[in-house]
Amino acid sequence: MSDLTRLDASETAAAVAAGEVTAREVAGAHLDRIEQTDEAVHAFVHVDRELTLAAADAVDAARASGGPLGPLAGVPLALKDVFTMRGAPTTCGSKILDGWRPPYDATVVERLRDAGVVVLGKTNMDEFAMGSSTENSAYGVTHNPWNLERIPGGSSGGSSAAVAARQAPLAIGTDTGGSIRQPAAVTGIVGVKPTYGAVSRYGLVAFSSSLDQGGPFARSVLDAALLHEVMAGHDPRDATSIDAPVPPVAAAARGELGGVDGLKVGVVTQLQGEGYQPGVQARFDEVVQLLTSLGADVVEVSCPSFDYALPAYYLIAPSECSSNLARFDGMRYGLRAGDDGKNGVEQVMAITRAEGFGPEVKRRIMLGTYALSAGYYDAYYGQAQKVRTLIRRDFEAAYRDVDVLLSPTTPTVAFPIGERADDPVAMYKADLATLPSSLYGGPAMSLPAGLGDDDLPVGVQLMAAVQRDEQVYRVGAALESALQERWGGPLLDRIPELATGGAA
């Protein structure tokens, strides 16, 4: 066959199932691609060729024996290094977990193995998923394959870069305030945050327990839907897991639930206009016109509480991370510093945390600890939760009138590496449009909308009501088809080719 790294996931799975190519050949092609390009991109922090090929061989053996194959059997995948996986380290991008090898699989990893998906390795990320650029990793910066001087988004930037660089047709990230959708937007791929509770968090190292949610990255809406169905489903080991059937997202992505004709789409007033780059706004306006031409009824929707999503999020999430990260103390696993016999237990803990956590993690721990402290809890954390309730009410009111909501995914295209490193507030603003749906808990998708400023990708965001995940896939698939017809093919076909041998 032609270059196996250019096939979509659904195409790869069909070729493996038909015996046109082996899973081992597919895995080998992607491992070679990683070896050729990852010195420039640095999407991965751990790749185990032997382990990957063994997983591929198991798929080939199952096919040879006539056993049933899942819809993604033999398809390679890049896994964000925040999920535990037997046989591989889990670092969460942090020095404090350097070298830790968990003795168990996350539920998501179990489901990948059961489905015959071949995990290529673990991808780089902002430390403990705190960041919007993948610059906050203890293991180096990840680069955007569209322009190696630009960020790939964060915190799941390693996963988005791997898909954009053709190192993997699929990847998994996590989204707390936009960490799937924002990287997808700036690397020109599809990224989905499922309904909160749709994907098990068992084995996902927690940042903010009421917000964290795993989800797919892919080159197409259908591929994302197929991975979504593999990942999702009830898990009794996760108290936040939804005990309900997985919505028919693959059927929606195939167009079996219909297109957008007759659907009502709400354009969120608060998530466009001032603060958005001209190129971003222009691509968004084109998508609005395209939806209208496809038969959608597009209306303006005002959600006034969305203006307060950013400050509310940056009180709630740090508060939860302050509690969740208390377990990393140098006593049980990972880094232990200052244990020279001269220091007591509390001193060892303090030294370990000082050396093990990076600046952004320390900043958020301190913010969260302050917000939860006596005398400040009601004024900060309590007030932020009240704002969250108002945001939820705005969404619920909107979905009584419209089927989906629409906005740009990010205010800007990918910014230069280092540009916002010393300006946390500017960095946080990368998630302006993605934060509201995280605080609400509903599903949201970022879809490539074209090229904006500096000829870099722009994403458009689709949002739907809780457990109506099929709606974002339904609209996303129709938009994707219309946009690609206009472009003459997928947006990723326009990405500059990375030179092999480690040089851009």
Tell me: pLDDT of 247 over 80: yes
**pLDDT band at residue 1 using 50, 70 and 90 as cut-offs:** low
Specify the pLDDT at position 334.
80
All residues at 6 or more sequence positions from 142 whose CB lies less than 8 Å from its CB, including other chains: 41, 42, 43, 124, 134, 151, 152, 157, 158, 161
Specify the pLDDT at position 354.
83
Instruction: Based on DSSP, count helices (H) and strands (E) in the chain, helices before strands.
Output: 16, 11
Computed from CA positions of residues 393, 395, 396, 402, in that sequence, does the dihedral angle turn out positive or negative?
A: positive
Tell me: pLDDT of 258 over 80: yes
Q: How far apart are CA 214 and CA 96, in angstroms?
A: 22
Q: How far apart are CA 213 and CA 444, in angstroms?
A: 11
Specify the pLDDT at position 200.
98
Determine the angle formed by the axes of helices 278-293 and 469-487, rounding to 10 degrees: 100
Specify the pLDDT at position 504.
30
Specify the pLDDT at position 2.
61
pLDDT tens sequence across 452-502: 999 999 999 999 999 999 999 999 999 999 999 999 999 999 999 986 544
**Burial environment of residue 484 by CB neighbours within 10 A (0 to 12, 13 to 18, 19 or more):** middle
pLDDT tens sequence across 79-118: 999 999 999 999 999 999 998 999 999 999 999 999 999 9
Residue 155 preceded by cis peptide, ω within 30: yes
**Burial environment of residue 464 by CB neighbours within 10 A (0 to 12, 13 to 18, 19 or more):** buried
Q: Report the range of poorest mean pLDDT among 178-187, 256-265, 337-346.
A: 337-346
Q: How far apart are CA 339 and CA 350, in angstroms?
A: 11
CATH of domain 4-305+389-494: 3.90.1300.10
**pLDDT band at residue 30 using 50, 70 and 90 as cut-offs:** very high
Specify the pLDDT at position 308.
97
Annotated active-site positions, please? 80, 155, 179
Q: Which residues pair with 155 in a beta bridge?
A: none
Closest CA to 352 of 334, 366, 365: 334
Computed from CA positions of residues 390, 392, 395, 399, in that sequence, does the dihedral angle turn out positive or negative?
A: negative
Of the chain, the percentage scoring pLDDT greater than 70 comes to: 98
- Tokens 């910014």: give the residue: 415
Specify the pLDDT at position 419.
96
Q: How many C-beta atoms lie closer than 10 Å to residue 160's C-beta? A: 36
Specify the pLDDT at position 503.
33
Question: How much is the mean pLDDT over the chain?
Answer: 95
pLDDT tens sequence across 67-90: 889 999 999 999 999 999 999 999
- How much is the average pLDDT of 420-437? 93
- What amino acid occupies position 298? V
Specify the pLDDT at position 499.
60
Q: How far apart are CA 124 and CA 133, in angstroms?
A: 11
Position with higher pLDDT, 334 vs 136: 136
pLDDT tens sequence across 303-341: 999 999 999 999 999 999 999 998 888 777 787 887 777
Q: Which residues pair with 204 in a beta bridge?
A: 83
For the chain, the domains span 4-305+389-494
Specify the pLDDT at position 269.
97
Distances 43 to 140, 159, 164, 165, 403 between C-alpha atoms, Å: 10, 7, 10, 9, 36
- How much is the average pLDDT of 211-235? 98
Q: How far apart are CA 213 and CA 193, in angstroms?
A: 7
